[in-house]
Structure 1
């Protein structure tokens, strides 16, 4: 296994989830997440991928929670395709928040079993 492949996994997975191809029930998922981030005025919207949990942010819409469940099933498959195992990722989350200049930031943050931290801004 090559730990260096966690970088594309973490970045590309977050990009896919927050990107324009993730459309569910008549709306893009990022629209719901962005609306919540704007409502919170700087407080982060956090989507927890690992450790896997059924208890996501209570303010996320049903549409977003359904998409999260689908993507949680896809994460190990994407990792396997990149030659890595999510068993070696201790933590992984996506943060979405509004900056003081009213820009939406999306950041992917992960930690592997060696203690290495992966942190990437994702521009979608």
Structure 2
């Protein structure tokens, strides 16, 4: 497995965890809407599964989320792909448009790594 595909797998796992958390928040919001001023939390009512099913129906009509890290990496890959089409030799002058695009791709990848590290520190999950 390449470095990029390993990173992609991590992004997919993080996105599925985010999706489950989003489903739970939607279920809680629906329950709160149906029962204003409720005293019993959703997870204690026995209705959690029904509200999560309804939340899944809501999620089914929403567009697929694109994680920030995955989007930055996809943009970096696209910059590399365009650069490779025009420069198979790997220009290293540091001043031309191709070198600028290459540096922009590197920057996006660094930002993705830094964002993952900061997110891991905030959430306690590994980067």
Is the pair's TM-score, using the shorter chain for normalization, greater than 0.5? no
Whose radius of gyration is greater, 1 or 2? 2
| TM-score (ref. length: structure 2) | 0.31
Higher helix share: 2
Identify the structure with bigger relative contact order (alpha carbons < 8 Å, sequence gap 6+). 1
| TM-score (ref. length: structure 1) | 0.32
